Chain A
Amino acid sequence: MSFFDTSRLALPADEQERRQAALERFAAEGFPGPRLESWHYSDWSALAEREFPLASAGAEPSFTLDTVQPLPLRPVHTPTPCPAFALDALNLAFATEGVEKTLQGQAQRPFAIVQQVTGAQTMRHLRHRLALDVGASATVLLWDAPGAGESETLLTAVLQLELAAGSQLRLICLQDADAAAIRALHLSARLATDAQLELIQLDFGGRRVRQELDIHLDAPGAVFRQAGLTALAGRSQVDQRSHVWHNAAGCESRSDGRLIAAGRAKAVLNAKVQVQPGAAKTDSETRIASLLLSAGAEIDAKPELEIYADDVKCAHGASFGQLDEAAAFYLRSRGLGADEARQLLTLAFAQSVLDQLPLDGLRAWSEQKVRALLAEQPA
């Protein structure tokens, strides 16, 4: 295991020690797989055989953005105590850069954090912390961008969010990594009184992608809204796990997940809402809708509820279906070609998520991504 050598990072001794401990933890647990109940549908254990040298720190994105305000990556030197998840431990062992920022007031332009691995067969580990002051509001785009072409890369990222009372954050997580990319994202958020987190997730790429969300609604009035679109083709596998904790009374969570799988892709969504004792007047709703576009694709959905309080309103639903033949027939009778009709209906399925996007350019680009899904498999 030559690449598990943290001494190459040239860090202070005490930090080196903490990182070494994290690395040992990761080495003991290894890459996760189905023997863990939370990894029921993905198996990364084969990755233990691969070698990924560390990408050089401080690499700038290979492109520029104009409508958004980039938040540059800075060195981070303060790892938190050793985390429970193996992939978090791996991140902690190697992450030396990330964004650390406290946002105040009303930000006009959206901020952007760009994550990219450009070196072939390399790995990169990022650690971000964003805090919103009381009453602040902002829009942040976290973009996992392509960059290494056809070669395999590994990126882990940890994003910690702290939302103070009354603050509002709209976070757009755009994952458009290369077809061979391996990606692990762990997002955890703590929301204070009346804070609002609106999360829009778009997943279009990656060979193996794992996303973990831990959202803690810690004080009354906290609101979490989530809209997610996973649209996959080829051999992409995206496995999302979210855990929303209603820790206080009177909080709200709404989640709308849309999964589309074409080719031999696999989409997994495990969305759990947990209502802790005392969290009365909880209002929670989770919806998962799935569309399988080809015979080789697979979608696994698991919306969970764990409830320890009685005065609550919690619902979840999951559905699987296909494009409506009657609707396709109608469109064709109006002069549209078969492919165009299918594209339009697929787009309509994704629309409830795309409509949430605040950036026009991003929305148009995402629509193209969804339309392109059908390109590789004619009706």
Chain B
Amino acid sequence: MSAAAELKPKAIQADVAEAIAARREYSAGFVTDIASDTVAPGLSEDVIRLISARKGEPEWLLAWRLKAYQNWLKLTPPDWAQLKVPPIDLQAISYYSQPKSHKDGPKSLDEVDPKLLETYKKLGIPLQEQAMLAGVQSSNIAMDVVFDSVSVATTFKAKLKEAGVIFCPISEAVREYPELVQQYLGTVVGINDNYYAALNSAVFTDGSFVFVPKGVRCPMELSTYFRINEKNTGQFERTLIICEDDAQVSYLEGCTAPQRDENQLHAAVVELVALERAEIKYSTVQNWYPGDENGVGGIYNFVTKRGECRGANSKISWTQVETGSAITWKYPSCVLRGDNSIGEFYSVALTHHRQQADTGTKMIHIGKNTRSTIVSKGIAAGHGQQSYRGLVRVLPGASGARNHTQCDSLLIGSHCGAHTFPYTEVRNPSAKLEHEATTSKIGEDQLFYLRSRGIGEEDAVSMIVNGFCKDVFRELPMEFAVEAGKLLAVSLEGAVG
């Protein structure tokens, strides 16, 4: 692997130098003391060229970005979701931000900015992972930390490399494994897929790249923490995970964000590719800043996540716990192309105060005997608005397709809303599908029983909610399951009484 310093573009152009100067002025208002490299706000072809040049990208990627930008100009923001989205000024967003310490190229973990480690500590990153950051290699979780837009530290690389697994920031993958990236990037979520995906394709700065070669079972869970830590900096991560024949990987994504008053846009794209008999498990705990109880501030989380089961007998499983963000617009999907392939979606989404979520999944059955399972649990409290929106589509060739969907909503308080919009489209007479949905409030009798056993109201509600979500929590890796339970309890504080 080359040192960071060698990977820089040979000549930094004049406009880049200018941009760096602009960034210095801009850095005055930062909340953390890490001096960041930030490009002045605004979106144009020049900004895209600048991002590409800063990252030393090959010509084909720049061309791809520019094509995505041209597509994006023709698209309009989606308006079909059950969401009230205030107009977003995309010209007020800065499209590139890089922690300054990266410029000096930390060659080992010891060189990671201590301020950065301090921030993670405040955000409550488990001690185990802190230790890992400090270089204590006793745990089995590898982590690619994204602080703002550039990965600054990667652990366990050697161990993964030994197994043949590539796990690195996508910008590094572009340099080190350009053929792989070029072969797969944009093949699951195309550059004109939707407004936010096109925007991401044009301006994405970083994200993770995972490649698990034939027959390899990834020796550990892979984990990435995304954080937004810079005022007015939209985050446009791009994640690409590829599992070749008979390969397996489990990927954990979690995010927390420091408190802000201004809305911040997060428009990530995640692409998964599973070849023959491959298995990908993707778990998310999303806890971006949700805004205060009056709906001021908070993250806009407009994410496109899609996996494609290309090979026969492959499997993709999405698990998500969504408690944060002011607005969530997210539909992790599975395209079941290979015969006998399996798609799964397990979701808990919670909206409190003025949060809004329109989330669900799409299962596209193309291959024969494809199966999918959807379990969605929505909880609405305060003035929160919660929608499940899901599509199950069975194409004419998908004989023997099977789907089971269960989506339940729980309402806490009389000012919230819970909505269900399931689309089912069937064009094959041998398909079997079931969809069940219920909406109810917390059972008075359950609450009464717990209270009579001496449990406080808030704890009782939290206990019932945890039980409601159990079907999803048990799909999460252990570390996340614990965190998810705590998150729900914290997020529901003040919802009753």
User: Which A residues lie within 8 Å of B411 (CB)?
Assistant: 307, 309-310, 312
A299 vs B425: C-alpha distance when bound (angstroms): 6
User: Which B residues lie within 8 Å of A315 (CB)?
Assistant: 436-439
Which residue of B is nearest A292, CB measured? Answer: B429
Known contacts A307-B409, A317-B435; A302 and B419 CB within 8 A of each other: no
- The reply on B220 being an interface residue by CB < 8 A is no
Contact status B429-A316, CB under 8 Å: no
Contact status B434-A317, CB under 8 Å: yes
Contact status A321-B439, CB under 8 Å: no
Bin chain B's interface residue count. Answer: 35 or more
Which residue of B is nearest A291, CB measured? Answer: B429
Question: Which of A41, A292, A310 has the largest number of chain B CB atoms within 10 A?
Answer: A310
Provide the main secondary structure of the chain A interface. strand
User: Which B residues lie within 8 Å of A305 (CB)?
Assistant: 409, 418-420, 437, 439
A304 vs B390: C-alpha distance when bound (angstroms): 11
Known contacts A308-B417, A310-B413; A300 and B426 CB within 8 A of each other: yes
Contact status B420-A304, CB under 8 Å: yes
The smallest C-beta distance from B431 to any residue of chain A, in angstroms, reads 6
Contact status A316-B420, CB under 8 Å: yes
Choice from B423, B427, B432, B436 contacting A298 with Cβ under 8 Å: B427
Which residue of A is nearest B405, CB measured? Answer: A318
A285 vs B421: C-alpha distance when bound (angstroms): 15
**Interface 1/0 per residue, A279-316 and B, CB below 8 Å:** 01000000000101111011111111111111111111
- The reply on B128 being an interface residue by CB < 8 A is no
Contact status B423-A300, CB under 8 Å: yes
Contact status B417-A320, CB under 8 Å: no
Known contacts A37-B80, A292-B428; A320 and B433 CB within 8 A of each other: yes
Choice from A290, A308, A317, A320 contacting B437 with Cβ under 8 Å: A317
A62 vs B9: C-alpha distance when bound (angstroms): 84
User: Which B residues lie within 8 Å of A297 (CB)?
Assistant: 427, 429
Bin chain A's interface residue count. Answer: 35 or more
User: Which B residues lie within 8 Å of A2 (CB)?
Assistant: none
Choice from B80, B429, B438 contacting A293 with Cβ under 8 Å: B429
A-B contact count (CB 8 A): 110
A313 vs B444: C-alpha distance when bound (angstroms): 13
Contact status A294-B414, CB under 8 Å: no
- The reply on A80 being an interface residue by CB < 8 A is no
A318 vs B414: C-alpha distance when bound (angstroms): 28
Choice from A40, A295, A301 contacting B424 with Cβ under 8 Å: A301
Choice from A40, A303, A320 contacting B426 with Cβ under 8 Å: A320
A299 vs B434: C-alpha distance when bound (angstroms): 14
- For residues 384 through 425 of chain B, which have their beta carbon under 8 Å from a beta carbon of chain A? 394, 396, 409, 411-425
Which residue of B is nearest A304, CB measured? Answer: B421
Which residue of A is nearest B442, CB measured? Answer: A310
User: Which A residues lie within 8 Å of B420 (CB)?
Assistant: 303-305, 316
User: Which B residues lie within 8 Å of A317 (CB)?
Assistant: 434-437
User: Which A residues lie within 8 Å of B80 (CB)?
Assistant: 37
A16 vs B68: C-alpha distance when bound (angstroms): 51
User: Which A residues lie within 8 Å of B425 (CB)?
Assistant: 41, 298-300
**Interface 1/0 per residue, A38-62 and B, CB below 8 Å:** 0011000000000000000000000
- The reply on A322 being an interface residue by CB < 8 A is yes
A267 vs B427: C-alpha distance when bound (angstroms): 11
A40 vs B411: C-alpha distance when bound (angstroms): 29
A37 vs B420: C-alpha distance when bound (angstroms): 15
Known contacts A293-B429, A317-B434, A322-B429; A300 and B418 CB within 8 A of each other: no
Known contacts A306-B419, A313-B440, A316-B437; A322 and B426 CB within 8 A of each other: no
- The reply on B24 being an interface residue by CB < 8 A is no
- The reply on B103 being an interface residue by CB < 8 A is no
A208 vs B417: C-alpha distance when bound (angstroms): 35
A312 vs B422: C-alpha distance when bound (angstroms): 20
- The reply on B441 being an interface residue by CB < 8 A is yes
- The reply on A319 being an interface residue by CB < 8 A is yes
- The reply on A337 being an interface residue by CB < 8 A is no
Choice from B416, B421, B438 contacting A310 with Cβ under 8 Å: B416
- The reply on B430 being an interface residue by CB < 8 A is yes
A304 vs B439: C-alpha distance when bound (angstroms): 11
Contact status B431-A320, CB under 8 Å: yes
- The reply on A277 being an interface residue by CB < 8 A is yes
User: Which A residues lie within 8 Å of B433 (CB)?
Assistant: 318-321
A366 vs B488: C-alpha distance when bound (angstroms): 53
Choice from B415, B419, B431, B441 contacting A312 with Cβ under 8 Å: B441
**Interface 1/0 per residue, B355-371 and A, CB below 8 Å:** 00000000000000000
The smallest C-beta distance from B467 to any residue of chain A, in angstroms, reads 18
User: Which B residues lie within 8 Å of A300 (CB)?
Assistant: 423-426
Known contacts A293-B429, A295-B396; A318 and B422 CB within 8 A of each other: yes
Known contacts A311-B441, A319-B433, A319-B434; A302 and B414 CB within 8 A of each other: no
Contact status B439-A307, CB under 8 Å: yes
The smallest C-beta distance from B461 to any residue of chain A, in angstroms, reads 13
User: Which A residues lie within 8 Å of B418 (CB)?
Assistant: 305, 307
Which residue of B is nearest A312, CB measured? Answer: B439
User: Which A residues lie within 8 Å of B439 (CB)?
Assistant: 305, 307, 312-315
A308 vs B412: C-alpha distance when bound (angstroms): 11
User: Which B residues lie within 8 Å of A310 (CB)?
Assistant: 411-414, 416, 441
User: Which A residues lie within 8 Å of B412 (CB)?
Assistant: 310
Choice from B426, B437, B438 contacting A292 with Cβ under 8 Å: B426
A162 vs B280: C-alpha distance when bound (angstroms): 56
**Interface 1/0 per residue, A152-187 and B, CB below 8 Å:** 000000000000000000000000000000000000
User: Which A residues lie within 8 Å of B82 (CB)?
Assistant: 306
The smallest C-beta distance from B421 to any residue of chain A, in angstroms, reads 5
The smallest C-beta distance from B367 to any residue of chain A, in angstroms, reads 16
Which residue of B is nearest A41, CB measured? Answer: B425
A316 vs B419: C-alpha distance when bound (angstroms): 12
Contact status A295-B423, CB under 8 Å: no
Contact status A298-B417, CB under 8 Å: no
Contact status B414-A307, CB under 8 Å: no
**Interface 1/0 per residue, B145-188 and A, CB below 8 Å:** 00000000000000000000000000000000000000000000
User: Which A residues lie within 8 Å of B416 (CB)?
Assistant: 308, 310
Contact status A290-B426, CB under 8 Å: yes
The smallest C-beta distance from A110 to any residue of chain B, in angstroms, reads 35
Known contacts A292-B431, A305-B419, A319-B433; A312 and B414 CB within 8 A of each other: no
A309 vs B394: C-alpha distance when bound (angstroms): 34
The smallest C-beta distance from A133 to any residue of chain B, in angstroms, reads 35
User: Which A residues lie within 8 Å of B430 (CB)?
Assistant: 322
List the 9 closest A-B pairs by CB distance, nearest first.
Answer: A310-B411, A292-B429, A320-B433, A318-B435, A305-B420, A314-B439, A310-B441, A306-B419, A308-B417
Given contacts A303-B435, A306-B419, A314-B439, 13 further A-B contacts (CB under 8 A): A41-B425, A277-B414, A292-B428, A300-B423, A304-B420, A305-B409, A305-B439, A307-B409, A312-B440, A313-B440, A314-B440, A317-B434, A320-B426
Can you name 8 A-B pairs with beta carbons within 8 Å?
A292-B426, A295-B428, A297-B427, A301-B424, A312-B439, A312-B440, A313-B439, A320-B434
Interface residues of B (CB under 8 A from A): 80, 82, 394, 396, 409, 411-441
